[in-house]
Chain A
Amino acid sequence: MLESEFMRLALGAGIVIGVLAPAVGFFLVQRRQSLIGDGIGHVAFAGVAAGILLDVSPVLTALVAAVLGGVVIEVLRSRGGTAGDQALALVFYTGIALGVVLISTAGALNVDLFQYLFGSILTVTRTDLVVIAALGAVGLATVGLLYRALAAVVVDEEGARVAGVPIGGLNIAVAALAAVTVALSMRVVGILLVAALMVLPVSAAGRMAWSMRSTFVLAMAIGLGSSLVGLTISYYADLPPGGTIVLAAAVVFGTAVVVSAARGR
């Protein structure tokens, strides 16, 4: 498997997003905002479509759309209330609808599209890998630097607000990080399944860990493991990697649930 160039590129990308997705997803899950990853994915889809239509790199247009969408979603969410909820739905569905319209205009409602939705091990180029590794490193470094602040907001948002912690700015940072993660993961896991890779490893880790920090680290380990196992299965069984990676993470999650139930926690 390692003798084929495309697989080495796919594994390289898989390592980066396997670690990055749960690292960012950790804060979404803890704050019960798991669906935001999904929402950003919907918007990223419109970005991919725009890229295909305009004949520029879909990864780039998805990145732009995802970051814009992520920030808009966060601003709407922070306003709260029913109006905020409906505005969120508007962003989600407009993203998908716009994507479908743009993509059929481009005459690309075909296999290509499938690769963006569920990932593919054949499509990661050298340039992609460089972009994924560079932005992934920036994303992980940002999470590392902001870990304490983000964790403190998870523990006690109002207490942090009283103490003058810039909650709004941190929330925007998380939304932007989630958007970058979605765009980077697109090639390998696909737009429809990237949110699962942000959520499942964290939920699994939470059932096995003994502290916040160990949950965080374990989630990244589970994400990495699922990514590598999923890509390997994808290679040998000729299946879309998004499916195999997320199923691998789901198996870990299921096992964690059963084991922790058996241990009576």
Chain B
Amino acid sequence: MRVTPAVELDDVSFGYRPGQRVLEGVTLRLGEGEFVAVAGPNGGGKTTLVRLILGLERPGDGRALLFGEPAHRFSQRRTLGYLAQRFELGGDAPATVREVVSAGRLAAGGLIGPMRRRDRELVAEAIERVGLSERADAPLRTLSGGQQQRAFIAKALAGEPSLLVLDEPTTGVDAETQESLAALLDRLHSELGVTIVYVSHEFGAVERFVQRLVLVRRTIVFDGSPQELPGIWHDPSHVHA
């Protein structure tokens, strides 16, 4: 019997407009519990790939499955955690770190009525994990850019996702925080078995922790362990498709 992969893209092609081909012939299988880095040049299609994986876009050709179900009507959505690239807080009200992170707990904790104690604890735990406990009740806009980014990461963690997708989470984050985020993801991965897809146009700090690196440039131009990469990466015929 075959184990159902967490993510399965089968010969997927996609364009935002008719005739446009942002991704072409993408086949990708991610097993449960994998920690994968997705890299590639600007405009290479990383964000599009992630949106297809999460069912936010539907493939033009081919199929996209999440845990064996069509991604766009996946039934266990509360198990997905997502931090969009260049995420911006909606609304004008001065939301606090705790309020932002609580929003990430909504789907898993139940939509209606007040928060249960267990949910409040998990929110506090997610805030603790990213090292923001002391600023938990400060309005987000009084935090630095990197601290805000950490709050958004905590929001993605608060739902206890079994698949966590982070699209360039370290934009505007200093090297030290990048390191601690990488270590945090490594812990989540090894302790809780969370499947992690980490997008970055450079792999930086996570390179040491991931077993698998996927390079995207309109299609998948490399898929293997980071150690195998250098030779191929420097060979222009593979990269500049």
Name A residues whose Cβ lies closer than 8 Å to a Cβ of B.
26, 29-31, 145-146, 148-149, 151-166, 203, 206, 209-213, 215-216
Contact = CB atoms under 8 A, between A and B. Distances in A.
Interface residues of B, number: 38
B137 interface: yes
A164 B87 contact: no
A158 B56 contact: yes
A155 B90 contact: yes
Interface of B: 54, 56, 74, 76-78, 80-84, 87, 89-96, 99-100, 102-104, 106-108, 111-115, 137, 139, 155-156, 159
Contacts of B106: 148-149, 152, 160, 163, 165
A164 B83 CA distance: 15
A143 to B, nearest CB: 12
Contact of B90 (A146, A157, A163): A157
A29 B92 CA distance: 8
Contacts of B92: 29-30, 203, 206
25 contacts: A26-B93, A151-B103, A152-B102, A152-B104, A153-B90, A154-B90, A156-B87, A156-B89, A156-B104, A156-B155, A159-B83, A160-B107, A162-B77, A162-B80, A163-B80, A163-B104, A163-B106, A164-B76, A164-B78, A165-B106, A203-B92, A206-B93, A210-B94, A210-B96, A211-B137
B91 A155 contact: yes
Given A154-B90, A157-B90, A164 B96 contact: no
Given A30-B91, A157-B90, A145 B96 contact: no
A162 B56 contact: yes
Interface SS majority for chain B? loop
Max count, chain B CB within 10 A of own CB: residue among A29, A146, A148, A166: A148
Contacts of A162: 54, 56, 77, 80, 82
A165 B94 contact: no
Contact of B107 (A163, A212, A213, A216): A163
Contacts of B54: 162
A192 to B, nearest CB: 25
Nearest to A148: B106
A166 B107 CA distance: 10
Given A30-B91, A160-B107, A203-B92, 9 more contacts: A148-B113, A148-B115, A149-B111, A156-B90, A158-B82, A159-B82, A162-B77, A206-B94, A212-B91
A159 B115 CA distance: 19
A164 B107 contact: yes
A141 B49 CA distance: 41
B103 A158 contact: no
A31 B77 CA distance: 23
